Structure 1
Amino acid sequence: MADFDLHKFLINDQPYTFLFEVIVRVFIAYIVVFTFLKISGRRGVQQLSLFEVVIILTLGSASGDVTFYDDVPVLPVILVFVVLLMLYRLTTLAMSKSPALSKLIEGEVVTLIAHGKYVSANLDKLNISEDEFLMELRHDGAEHLGQIRLGLVEVDGQLSLYFYQDEDVVPGLSVLPAEHRPCFTVMPDDDLYACNRCGLTKNLRSGEQCRCPECDRNVWSRALRSVRT
């Protein structure tokens, strides 16, 4: 077994003075990325669209290389940043002139909830699990869909909810976890139920089996009527 080489383990073949160069390289990369974010007009990651996330990941790759590889010169990396910034500006300008191009690159706002139930045609457009989506609704203070007048998925993936006033709340599908939202294919008693797929509400009788007339699913939960607290 070869002897353990602490110097090689810590810094490989570089002298310890290279650590100072790493500090300088990280500082330069930090300034360039920060400058890009300031010029782009964004305040935080949550405001970034998919297009901008791609730009940031590209910048991150370039800045990562320059920070700790001694054979990567700084000026070409800075040129990469400058070219990316120019491309970003040109692309955003073209997007402002062409709605079709903007839709292609950034996507569009998706209406997911309207009038207390899901918009079935848009459910499959979202690449998100049901549990994750229901968690987002709960974080925004929703207990059931009937409390929500309008729910939009923005181009950056954020969820925008517009709630009914208490007097306008309608019965709706519970967004609570499974243990608080029993599901049925055979109704246990007469009650108002909500389709687990689209949120359509329907009065069903004890022992009845029913397929949803809107989405053709056959799993139901008791509709909730509570207002927001």
Structure 2
Amino acid sequence: MDQPVIPFDLARMFIGEQPPLFYAEILFRTVLIYLYTLVMLRWIGGRGVAQLSLVEFLLVIALGSAVGDAMFYPEVPLLAAMAVITTVVFVNKVLDRLIVRFDRAKRTLDGRPIALVRDGHILLDAMSHRDLGIAEIKSMLRLAGVENLGELRVAYLEAGGGLSVFRAHPPRPGLSLVPPQHLLNPAPAKDKPLAMDGQTCCGICGVSTGAQIIATRGRCGNCDGQTWQAPEWPPGIDDELKGSSKPME
């Protein structure tokens, strides 16, 4: 039978039953687990950590566990928890200094921005780098206030998960992002008259091409899709700009 817990037993609270050398093991275990978790979070990438950097995200996890265990479990010595907290904060400060002083360390720990959209169409390379789907990219763009891919010159997914949007001047006709697609977007184009100025755009990634691809049932060279629809002008474009616009290349 387990011995009953004696309240305010200072030896149990601060030291526990472990030998003194166990504290050296705690330091080793903390550093090892911290670095291993950092590698795993780096593998997950910016999608998994939202607006926090990987180092900040890991700091929250590590401190939350160390602080919580010491508060709730009487068998966890306070000195052991304090050793873990001190080690985590020290490692975090070292990594912070490396990130501030060395660009290579920042790229290694936090990653680098990835282009999601360029010249009005979604880049498929971004999906493989960050494990994103096209629907997720479109959702992120809508949250950034983008209604049509034709508005964009380039959009970047930052290392911390934020989205940087740079708009095209002037905008061009492109794929509408306004949901729900089956109600608000035009139906897939089935013949040339549905395409604007002899152009059509991929209904999946937004790549524009000549409308003849519809008749030949060709596939998109970017995403391999076969859904084609008429490009739309972004909202708020005046008729003068529409009339002076040249067909997309």
TM-score above 0.5: yes
Match of 2:76 among 66, 72, 79: 72
> Quick one: which amino acid aligns to residue 219 of structure 1?
T
Aligned to 2:53: 49
Aligned to 1:175: 177
Q: What is the Cα deviation at residue 66 of structure 1? A: 1.6
Aligned to 1:220: 228
2:167 is the alignment partner of 1:159: no
Counterparts of 1:71-150 in structure 2 under 5 Å?
71-150=75-154
2:64 is the alignment partner of 1:60: yes
How many angstroms apart in 1 are the aligned matches of 2:155 and 2:128?
15
> Quick one: which amino acid aligns to residue 194 of structure 1?
C
Q: Which runs of 5+ in 1 are unaligned?
A: 1-12, 19-44
Q: Is the 8 A contact 2:188 2:203 kept in 1?
A: no
How many angstroms apart in 1 are the aligned matches of 2:65 and 2:189?
51
Q: Is the 8 A contact 2:194 2:229 kept in 1?
A: no
Counterparts of 1:11-30 in structure 2 under 5 Å?
none
* 1:118-176 Cα distance to aligned partner (Å, 9 max, x none): 233333212233333222211222111111222110111111212235xx111112223
How many angstroms apart in 1 are the aligned matches of 2:54 and 2:192?
46
Match of 2:209 among 202, 212, 217: 202
Q: Which runs of 5+ in 2 are unaligned?
A: 9-48, 238-249
Residues 185 and 65 of structure 1: is their aligned pair in 2 closer, same or farther, counting only changes over 3 Å? farther
How many angstroms apart in 1 are the aligned matches of 2:86 and 2:148?
48
* 1:22-60 Cα distance to aligned partner (Å, 9 max, x none): xxxxxxxxxxxxxxxxxxxxxxx8642123212211111
Q: Is the 8 A contact 1:185 1:210 kept in 2?
A: no
Q: Percent same amino acid among aligned pairs? A: 26
How many angstroms apart in 2 are the aligned matches of 1:228 and 1:63?
53
Two-structure CA RMSD over aligned residues (Å): 3.0
How many angstroms apart in 2 are the aligned matches of 1:134 and 1:14?
56
Look up the SS of the partner of 2:130 in the other structure.
coil
Residues 172 and 185 of structure 1: is their aligned pair in 2 closer, same or farther, counting only changes over 3 Å? closer
> Quick one: which amino acid aligns to residue 201 of structure 1?
S
